[in-house]
């Protein structure tokens, strides 16, 4: 497990942990006269390409916003197809991710996922657990506000039981109660689709993360555009409030 360190621990100019809001699947499909699930399938293919392109570009951790808590509010048929797509990705990519030394992790309220989806995800995580290359961190049924509520609840229980002193609570301690415990904060957050908002994604962790947005829809995002984002990051001077 990677030790908990702030984003500032990364080598200057190098984005070791990249977070992604993969936005624009439905708009991409609508503009082409396709269904929403066609857009999501195209997005899954893009995730495969970006995962494979990440290690040569120096990325060590890729955290992707795959399904938010708010996404449950979509049409039930679309939600069912999304859960099926997660299952298919977990099954179809297992061998490829294993052969490329990718380790899959997941964050979010995973127990609320449909049982077949959760089982497929667990199998993928177990199958890649021994790999020590790129970490592909899937945010599923994830919401940052829920993450903070869960962290505060768990922290409060430990204080009440005497396992944790109230005076010991600081940023580092709180970080160990988050879903991302053991991972450094993202250096760079990329959002596709042209929107300029965080959408309840990693609100605590991106306090000093560099942001990069592109109007390109996620299905059209590729390794060249990822390299463009990393090149932009490399030119930035990160002061962390100093």
Where in the sequence numbering do the catalytic residues fall? 23, 71
E runs forming strands in the chain: 17-21, 61-68, 103-107, 135-142, 188-191, 210-213
Q: At what angle do helices 36-54 and 223-234 cross, to 10 degrees?
A: 60
The order of strands in the sheet holding 61-68 is 103-107, 135-142, 61-68, 17-21, 188-191, 210-213
70 exposed, middle or buried (CB, 10 Å; 0-12, 13-18, 19+)?
A: exposed
Q: Among all chains, which residue has been given the structure tokens 């060590």?
A: 60
d(C-alpha 15, C-alpha 17), whole Å: 6
CA angle 105, 180, 171 (to 5 degrees): 165
């Amino acid at each position: 497990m990677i030790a908990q360190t702030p984003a500032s621990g990364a080598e200057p100019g190098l984005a070791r942990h990249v977070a992604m809001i993969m936005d624009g699947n439905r708009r991409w499909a609508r503009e082409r006269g396709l269904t929403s699930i066609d857009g999501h399938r195209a997005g899954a293919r893009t995730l495969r390409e970006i995962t494979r392109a990440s290690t040569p570009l120096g990325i060590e951790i890729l955290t992707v916003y795959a399904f938010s808590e708010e996404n449950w509010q979509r049409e039930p048929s679309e939600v069912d197809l999304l859960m099926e797509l997660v299952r298919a990705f977990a099954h179809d990519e297992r061998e490829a991710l294993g052969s490329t030394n990718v380790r899959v992790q997941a964050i979010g309220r995973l127990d609320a996922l449909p049982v077949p989806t959760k089982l497929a995800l667990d199998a993928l995580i177990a199958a890649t657990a021994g790999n020590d290359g790129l970490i592909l961190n899937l945010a599923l049924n994830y919401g940052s506000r829920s993450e903070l509520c869960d962290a505060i609840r768990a922290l409060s229980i430990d204080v009440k039981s005497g396992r944790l002193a109230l005076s010991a609570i600081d940023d580092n301690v709180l970080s160990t109660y988050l879903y991302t415990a053991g991972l450094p904060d993202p250096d760079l957050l990329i959002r596709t689709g042209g929107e300029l908002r965080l959408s309840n994604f990693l609100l605590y962790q991106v306090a000093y993360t560099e942001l990069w947005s592109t109007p390109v829809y996620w299905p059209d995002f590729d390794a060249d555009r990822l390299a463009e984002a990393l090149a932009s990051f490399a030119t930035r001077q990160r002061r962390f409030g100093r």
